[in-house]
Amino acid sequence: MKLRIYPSIGIARLGNGPTNKNDVVFTPEVPWANLYDNDLEFHTKDGALKKQAQRFYIYECDDNGKPIRKIDASSCDIEWTVEVANKKPFWYDFNNSLDLSINTDNNNLSPNFYTKQIAPGISTSRRNPNVLNEQLINSKNYNYRKELVNSPAPTTINSKNTSPVKLGGQFPFPLANESYSKVAAAMNLESKDVNLGAVEYDGGSLIFYPGDGISAALNPSDLNTDFADNSNWYDDICDGKVTAKVTMNGTTYELNDADSSAWIATAPPDYAPQIQPLATMYDLICGISNDSYTTDFSLIFPILYRLYRMQWVNLSDFLAPSFRETIDELTTAEFKSLYSNSVSAQHVRNKIFNLFRDPLYNYDNEPSIPSKSKTDITNIGSGTQELKYPFYPGDGINYPGSPAQWFAIPPILYNELRKWRDGNFTSLEGDFSTMDALGKYYQQQYLDAANDPSKSALLMTRAVLETLYGGGFHPGVELTWPMRHAQMYAENSLSFTDVTPGNSFFGLREIRIAAATPAEQKDIFYNDYGLQMNSDDIKESIDSSNEKSWLWKSTPGDLTKWMGIPWQSDAGSCQKVFLDSQYPIPAWWAANLPVDVLTEESLVAMRNTDLKPETIQYVYANRLPWLMTTDTGYVGYHAEGGYMNGLINMVYKWKNVGVVAGRTSSVNGIPELVYVASESKNVKDKTSIFLGKAVPNEPVTLVPPTSFYSNTREMVWIPDNKTAFLSSNPDGTGEVFVDDVFQMKINGKIAFEYDFSNNCSGRIMPQPPIDITAHLKEAINSFVTIEVNYIDKCGGYESSSEFYLIFK
Amino acid sequence: MSSETLQTDVLIIGNGVSGLLLQYVLEHRGISSMLLSKKNIKSNLPLAETIPPTTLELLEELNALDFFEKYATKTYGYQSKWNSDYIVDESFFIKNKFGYGLKIDKKKVLNIIEQNASNILSVNEISKVQFNEKENKVKVQKINNDIVDISASLLVDATGRKRHFLKQANSKSIDYDDTLAFLCYLPKTGPDLKYGFFTEVISNDCWGTVSDLNETTRIITLHTSKNNEFHKVFKQFEHWRKLLNNTTLLQFCLPDKGNFKVYGKQANSSISSKIISNNIIGIGDAALAFDPISSHGISNAIYTVKEAAMAIEEYLNHNQESLVKYEQKLYAIFNEYLKQKEKLYQVIH
C-alpha cells in the first residue's frame, strides 16, 4: 500500500485574526465551490482579518500512486512534521523574471522571449548586501548570510496536539550552536521573534495556520520604499515541507519523499476569494506538460468567465469598452453561439477570440507603458494598434515598447481558444443564457467530481492552484515564475482526463514539488549564485547535469524567496498603471488584490426604496479605489504622488482593507448576487484596559518568591453581561505569560492567580487569552482598584508579556 | 528629656504637588530644605487632571517633566460649548513648543516626586509656629512619637486652601465666589470625546464637564454656586438626568441605569490676604486658588513653585525684596484672572 499527502501543494494566507480553527477560513478543497456563496465572513467578530488555514489529509493510493480514499485516522497513529523557512532576506532583489531570455521546452513562454529577446532577464544582486559570507573576506568560517534565513527547527505533532503548536522563528536567525545572532548583535539588537505559523492535529488531518502578517525592519526607522526589495526587513511568509509518519497495523509508512510529501506556502490575504485570478498557477502547470486535450467548452469557459468576473474588482473590466460589455451586449441567440460549434456561431466566437492578445507576442504595436525613468519624449508612432484583452501588465513591464509589457493569457488557454474559434470543440448541450448560468453548471461538475474519493484528493490540489495568480509575474502575488517550469516538479502527470464525463477542464493532475532529499537539503539549503544572479545562471540550472541545477531542488523557503519583502509593499503598490491614454486604465492582480470595488455601504444605499432607478444605477457604477482605506491614493507602477505612502501604510493597514465577498443584492436593476467590499470595522463594544507592561527576560536578583513588577489601576468599572479575559494586546488575541506567576488583586484581595511555570516545571507555558469572567463576579457593576503583580516563584529568569484586561 | 533639634533653611508643609515639587527643586539647587508630610487620613480619589502645554514648558525648566510624563497620557486639546451655539475646539497641537497637554494620574505623580525628593519627614502632629524674627520654630511629633524641634529661616505653606501656616500669621482667606463642585464617577457611556474633555453650560448658574479618567471610566463634574437654592439637588445622582436634560452632550454620558455616588466639594476661587507674612511664604492653592473652570490647579502649583524657588534662592542670598516681588506677581495674576472670570461668567448670569 502506498500513502500520499493531499493537497500536494497547500496555501495558507496571512491574517491578524486568531490562530484557532473556529476563527479562520480554510483554503477551498473543491475548485469553484465558493463562487456563489453569499454569506462568507472574512473578518472575525472583533474586526480582525481571518487567517486562511490549510488542511492536509493522508490518502491511501494504488500502486500507481492514484489516490483511492482518505485513511481512517482512528485505525492508525499519525505523526505530522512541518519544516518551513523564510529565505527572502537571504535571496536576491527582484528586477524581473529571470527566465525571460531562456529557451525552454514548455508552452508557457513564447519563443519570442528567447529568439527576439523581447524582455530580457535583468541580473540581480543580493538583498541585504552588507551582510557577508565571511569566507569572501577572509578564511573564517562564519557565514553571516545564513542568519538571514528564518528557519525554525521542524515541528512534529501527533494526536495529542489538538491545539495549535507554534512553529516559531527569529530574524536574524541564530545559527545552530550559537546562542544569539551575530548580525543582530552587530546592530546592538536582539533577534526578533518572527513566528512563521502554527500546526494542529485535527482528527488525523493537519491544520496549517499562517503567521500574523507582521512585517518590520530591524531598524525601526527604515522605511520600505521599494515595491519588492527592502534590506533590513523581515516578514512572516514562509514555505516548506509537510511530511508524515503513519503507523497502521504494525507497519510504519514514512511519507517524507518528494513523491508522497506535500508542500505548504503562505501568502498574502486573498482580498477577493470568490473572484478567480485571470490566469492561475494550474493553467501554467498544465502548460508545462505539453499534454494534448480533446476540446470541450470546459476548456474555454473558465478564461471567458474569469475575465467577465473581473468587473467586480477592476473598473476597466466593468465599464466599456470591456469584455463584460461585449458579453452583455450579446443577444440570447448570440450568447448560445458561445458554446455551440456550429458554423453559424462562428462569427461570434471569432469576434471574441480577436479580443485576446496572442501570447506568442509577435511584434504588434499596442500602447506602451512608460518606464519609471521618465523623459518627455512622446512615443511617436507607438500605440497604433488597439489594446487587446486583458488590460493587465505583463512580465515585460520593464521595457517600454516590448509587446510583453502586456499580459497575455497562457498559451495553453489561447490555443484552446483558437480551436474554439474554429469550431473544433464539442458543443455544450443545454440551454444557458447568462455567464452565471454556465458558471453554475460547471461548478456543479466540480461538486459532483468531489464525491468521487479518488478525484477529491486531486481536486484539493487543483482548488489551491486555481486561487494562485499565474502571471504577470512582477513578481506576482503568491508564487512566481519558477513555478512555470517543469524542473520545479517531481511529478506533473495527468491522472484523469476529465473532471466529469465530457467536461475535461484540462483534467486532474498529480503534482508534486521536486523537494530535495534530507541529504541534498543539507548540501544546498544555503546555496546561492554569489554576488550576482542572472539569466545565464538560470539557463544553466535548467540542465539537470549542470552543477547549478540545485536551484530546482526545493528546500524550505525556496518557493517564496523570490517574492517581494515585505509582502505588503507589492500588495499595496501594484494597483493601477497609468498610461498616456487615461482609459481604460490597466491594473495588476485585481482578483486577489482588488483595484476598484463596489462597497457594502453602496449596496446598503441602493436598498433605499426611495431611490430613482437611474440613481441606483449611478450608485452601482460608483466603484471606489480598494486601497482608499490605506489613504494611499492611487498607486501604480509609476512613482507618482502617493506611491511611497502606499508602500509604507500597507505595512500596517493591510488588515483593514476591504475584502470583496458575495452578497444577495435585493435591489431591482442590478445583479442578484453582487460582490462587495466590506472593511474591517473598528468594533466598538470591546474595552481594553492596560494592566501591566512586558518585562524583558532578565536573571532574577532577589530570593524568590518576589514580585518583580506591580501596577495599580484605580476606578476601573467592571461591567455586567461581558466576558472578561487577559490578553497581551489590546486586540484581545495575544498570548500571555509571566515567568512565573501572574497575580491580580481586586480592591486588595487576590481575585485571580495563574502559575505559568506549572509549579516550577522548568518551562514557561504562554497561554492564549485567559477567560477570567468568573473571577470578577463579585465586582460586577462597581468601580474597583486592580493591582497586578508579576511574581518570580522559581528563580532563574523573570519576564512577562504585556497584560490587558479585555471586556467583550 | 531633651528633644531632637533640626535646622533647615526652608521648611515646607504639605505633601501635594506644590510642596513635593518645591522640595525637589530646592534640593537640586543646593538649598537645605525639609518637607513635613502629615499622614493622609482620607485617600484621594483619582482625578483626570489636565496639564496644558504651557505648563509643560515650566516643568521642563524645573527638570521635572519626566515625573509627570511617566504616568500620563497625552491630550491634544479640549472642546467646550460655552459662549456660542457651537462646540468650540481648543487644540493644543498648534500651540507652542509642546503640541500636547498631559492627563496625569496625580497619585502616581506624587509618588514619583516623593521618591525623588529626599528630605521628607513624616509626622503625626505639627505644633503652632513659634515666630522669631530670624528663625521660625515648629515642634513636630514623628510617627514614632519622638518630638523634634525644627527651626527654619523660611516656612513654606503648601497646605492648599487650609493655609495652615499663613493663617497662624494672621493671613485671612478672601473668597471670591461660592462655587461648589459635584463629582461623579461613571462607566463610560455616550459618544467618544475628541480630546477626552468637554465642558458646557447647563443653565445660567451651572456648568459641567465630562472628562475621561481611564479606559472604562469618566468623571462628570457639575459646578454651581452655593447661592443656587437648588444646589442640594445636585448631591443626588437620580436628579442628574433631569438637570442635564437640555445639554448638548453631557446628558448622553449618563448611563441608562444605576445609581452612582456623588462627591460634593468646595471649589471657589480664593486668595490669601497675605502670601508672604512673618517669613512664611504660600505656594500653590495656599497662595491663590482658582475656581475649577480655569483647570489651573496643578498649573498654578507648578507656576508658584517655579516663582517661589527663585524668590527663596534670592532671599537666602540676602535679597529681602524677592519675597515681596513674588507676592506682587501673584496678586497681579490673580487680578487678571478675576477679570477674565468676570467675562466668562457674564455669559452665564
What is the distance between the alpha carbons of residues B73 and B320, in angstroms, rounded to a whole number? 41
Quick one: CA dihedral B47, B53, B58, B59, positive or negative?
Answer: positive
Decide if A714 and B46 are in contact by the 8 Å CB cutoff: yes
A672-682 pLDDT, tens digit each? 999 999 877 65
Coil, strand or helix at B51: strand
- Quote the distance between the C-alpha of residue A510 and its chain's center: 22
Band of the pLDDT at A633, cuts 50, 70, 90?
Answer: very low
Residue A789 included in any domain: yes
B170 touches chain A (CB under 8 A): no
Is the domain of B130 the same as that of B242?
A: no
Other beta carbons within 10 angstroms of residue B31's beta carbon come to: 18
Closest residue by Cα to residue A327 from A256, A413, A432? A432
Is the domain of B165 the same as that of B29?
A: yes
Is the domain of B9 the same as that of B110?
A: yes
Closest residue by Cα to residue B213 from B15, B42, B45? B45
Is the domain of B285 the same as that of B143?
A: yes
Write the Ramachandran bin of A393: left for phi over 0, alpha for psi from -120 to 50, otherwise beta: beta
Least confident of A300-314, A362-376, A446-460, A583-597: A362-376
Owning domain of residue A697 = 688-807
| Backbone phi, psi, residue B283, to 5° | -135, 165
What is the distance between the alpha carbons of residues A69 and A284, in angstroms, rounded to a whole number? 27
A11 pairs with which residues across the strands? A265
Is the domain of B130 the same as that of B16?
A: yes
A260-282 pLDDT, tens digit each? 999 999 999 999 999 999 999 99
Coil, strand or helix at A639: coil
The bridge status of strand A489-496 relative to strand A205-209 is unpaired
What is the distance between the alpha carbons of residues A124 and A115, in angstroms, rounded to a whole number? 22
Is the domain of B123 the same as that of B253?
A: no
- The residue among B6 and A635 whose pLDDT is bigger is B6
B71 touches chain A (CB under 8 A): no
SS (H, E, C) A6-32: ECCEEEEECCCCCCCHHHCEECCCCCC
Q: Quick check: A78 and A242 in contact, CB under 8 A?
A: no
Nearest CA distance, A694 vs chain B (angstrom)? 16
B217 touches chain A (CB under 8 A): yes
The four Cα atoms A747, A750, A756, A761 give a dihedral, to 10 degrees, of 150
Residue B125 included in any domain: yes
- Using the predicted structure, report yes or no on whether residue A6 has a pLDDT greater than 80: yes
Count structural domains, chain A: 1
Nearest CA distance, A691 vs chain B (angstrom)? 11
Q: What single-letter amino acid sits at A210? A: P
Is the domain of B317 the same as that of B191?
A: no
What is the distance between the alpha carbons of residues A740 and A794, in angstroms, rounded to a whole number? 7
Q: Quick check: A737 and A765 in contact, CB under 8 A?
A: yes
Indicate the burial class of A17 (C-beta count within 10 angstroms; 0-12, 13-18, 19 or more): buried
What is the distance between the alpha carbons of residues A515 and A257, in angstroms, rounded to a whole number? 7
- Using the predicted structure, report yes or no on whether residue A519 has a pLDDT greater than 50: yes
Decide if B215 and A689 are in contact by the 8 Å CB cutoff: yes
Q: For position A381, what pLDDT does the model report?
A: 66
**Which of A688, A715, A807 shows the shortest C-beta gap to B217?**
A715
Q: Quick check: A645 and A652 in contact, CB under 8 A?
A: no
Cell numbers for A114: 528567447
Q: Is the ipTM of this complex over 0.90?
A: no
Q: For position A630, what pLDDT does the model report?
A: 52
Nearest CA in chain A to B186: A717
Decide if A687 and B188 are in contact by the 8 Å CB cutoff: yes
Q: For position B2, what pLDDT does the model report?
A: 53
Residue B232 included in any domain: yes
- Using the predicted structure, report yes or no on whether residue A514 has a pLDDT greater than 90: yes
A747 touches chain B (CB under 8 A): no
Count structural domains, chain B: 2
Nearest CA distance, B46 vs chain A (angstrom)? 7
Nearest CA distance, A712 vs chain B (angstrom)? 9
A783 touches chain B (CB under 8 A): yes
B216 touches chain A (CB under 8 A): yes
A293-343 pLDDT, tens digit each? 999 999 999 999 999 999 999 999 999 889 999 999 999 999 999 999 999
Task: Report chain B residues whose CB lies below 8 A from the CB of A690.
Answer: 215
What is the distance between the alpha carbons of residues A512 and A553, in angstroms, rounded to a whole number? 12
Nearest CA in chain B to A711: B108
Size of interface A-B (CB pairs under 8 A): 32
Band of the pLDDT at A1, cuts 50, 70, 90?
Answer: confident
- Using the predicted structure, report yes or no on whether residue A175 has a pLDDT greater than 50: yes
Residue A251 included in any domain: no
- Quote the distance between the C-alpha of residue A654 and its chain's center: 13
Residue A612 included in any domain: no
Owning domain of residue B160 = 3-76+106-175+272-345
Q: For position B1, what pLDDT does the model report?
A: 45
Quick one: CA dihedral B277, B278, B280, B281, positive or negative?
Answer: positive
- Using the predicted structure, report yes or no on whether residue A428 has a pLDDT greater than 60: yes
B184 touches chain A (CB under 8 A): no
Q: Chain B neighbours among A 164-203 (CB < 8 Å)? A: none
Residue A785 included in any domain: yes
Decide if A717 and B216 are in contact by the 8 Å CB cutoff: yes
Decide if A687 and B45 are in contact by the 8 Å CB cutoff: no
Q: Chain B neighbours among A 101-140 (CB < 8 Å)? A: none
A711 touches chain B (CB under 8 A): no
Residue B82 included in any domain: no
Indicate the residue among B214, B248, B266 that finishes a domain: B266
Is the domain of B50 the same as that of B156?
A: yes
Nearest CA distance, B307 vs chain A (angstrom)? 33
Decide if B215 and A687 are in contact by the 8 Å CB cutoff: yes
CATH number of the domain bearing residue B223? 3.30.70
Cell numbers for A262: 506535500
Q: For position B294, what pLDDT does the model report?
A: 56
Task: Report chain B residues whose CB lies below 8 A from the CB of A783.
Answer: 185, 217
B98-107 pLDDT, tens digit each? 888 898 888 8
Residue B140 included in any domain: yes
Cell numbers for A655: 488588515
Closest residue by Cα to residue A110 from A102, A419, A540, A352? A102
What Å distances lie between residue B61 and B25, B56, B114, B309, CA to CA?
Answer: 10, 9, 19, 12
B45 touches chain A (CB under 8 A): yes
Q: What single-letter amino acid sits at A81? A: T
What is the distance between the alpha carbons of residues A319 and A620, in angstroms, rounded to a whole number? 11
**Which of A690, A715, A781 shows the shortest C-beta gap to B213?**
A715
Decide if B215 and A688 are in contact by the 8 Å CB cutoff: yes
Is the domain of B55 the same as that of B130?
A: yes
What is the distance between the alpha carbons of residues A452 and A433, in angstroms, rounded to a whole number? 30
Task: Report chain A residues whose CB lies below 8 A from the CB of B218.
Answer: none
**Percentage above 70 pLDDT, chain B:** 94
B161 touches chain A (CB under 8 A): no
Optimal mutation site among B216, B237, B257, B260, interface A, most CBs of chain A within 10 A = B216
Residue B147 included in any domain: yes
Q: For position A579, what pLDDT does the model report?
A: 72
Task: Report chain A residues whose CB lies below 8 A from the CB of B187.
Answer: 717, 719
CATH number of the domain bearing residue B49? 3.50.50.60
Is the domain of B37 the same as that of B184?
A: no
Q: For position A80, what pLDDT does the model report?
A: 98
Nearest CA distance, B186 vs chain A (angstrom)? 8
Q: At what angle do helices B321-348 and B297-316 cross, to 10 degrees?
A: 160
B44 touches chain A (CB under 8 A): no
B256 touches chain A (CB under 8 A): no
Cell numbers for A310: 473581473
Q: For position A622, what pLDDT does the model report?
A: 94
B48-84 pLDDT, tens digit each? 788 888 899 999 999 999 999 888 888 888 888 877 7
A686 touches chain B (CB under 8 A): no
Across A740-749, average pLDDT: 96
The four Cα atoms A201, A207, A208, A212 give a dihedral, to 10 degrees, of -100
**Which of B45, B216, B258 shows the shortest C-beta gap to A716?**
B216
Q: Quick check: B226 and B178 in contact, CB under 8 A?
A: yes
Indicate the residue among B266, B284, B312 that finishes a domain: B266
What Å distances lie between residue A606 and A660, A678, B121, CA to CA?
Answer: 17, 15, 73
Is the domain of B42 the same as that of B117?
A: yes
**Which of B46, B185, B258 shows the shortest C-beta gap to A781?**
B258
What is the distance between the alpha carbons of residues A724 and A746, in angstroms, rounded to a whole number? 14
Decide if A719 and B216 are in contact by the 8 Å CB cutoff: yes
Cell numbers for A67: 489516490
A69 pairs with which residues across the strands? A60
Nearest CA in chain A to B44: A714
Residue B85 included in any domain: no
Indicate the burial class of A567 (C-beta count within 10 angstroms; 0-12, 13-18, 19 or more): buried
Cell numbers for B131: 515666630
Task: Report chain A residues whose CB lies below 8 A from the CB of B214.
Answer: 689, 713-716
CATH number of the domain bearing residue A770? 2.60.120
Residue B89 included in any domain: no
Long-range contacts of B121-127 (CB under 8 A, 24+ apart): B121/B34, B121/B35, B121/B36, B121/B37, B121/B148, B122/B37, B122/B38, B122/B39, B123/B36, B123/B37, B123/B38, B123/B39, B124/B38, B124/B39, B126/B13, B126/B36, B126/B38, B126/B164
b/e for A381-402, b at 16 or more Cβ within 10 A? eeeeeebebbbbbbbbbbbeeb
Indicate the residue among B266, B291, B323 that finishes a domain: B266
Task: Report chain A residues whose CB lies below 8 A from the CB of B258.
Answer: 781
B132 touches chain A (CB under 8 A): no
Residue A737 included in any domain: yes
What is the distance between the alpha carbons of residues A442 and A363, in angstroms, rounded to a whole number? 36
The pTM of this model reads: 0.69
Task: Report chain B residues whose CB lies below 8 A from the CB of A781.
Answer: 258
- Using the predicted structure, report yes or no on whether residue A553 has a pLDDT greater than 70: yes
- Using the predicted structure, report yes or no on whether residue B7 has a pLDDT greater than 70: yes
What is the distance between the alpha carbons of residues B301 and B21, in angstroms, rounded to a whole number? 9
Closest residue by Cα to residue A226 from A647, A807, A760? A647
Is the domain of B39 the same as that of B63?
A: yes
User: What are the start-end ranges of the E strands in A195-287?
Assistant: 198-202, 205-209, 216-217, 233-234, 239-248, 251-255, 262-267
Closest residue by Cα to residue A770 from A740, A716, A732? A732
Residue B90 included in any domain: no
Task: Report chain A residues whose CB lies below 8 A from the CB of B261.
Answer: none
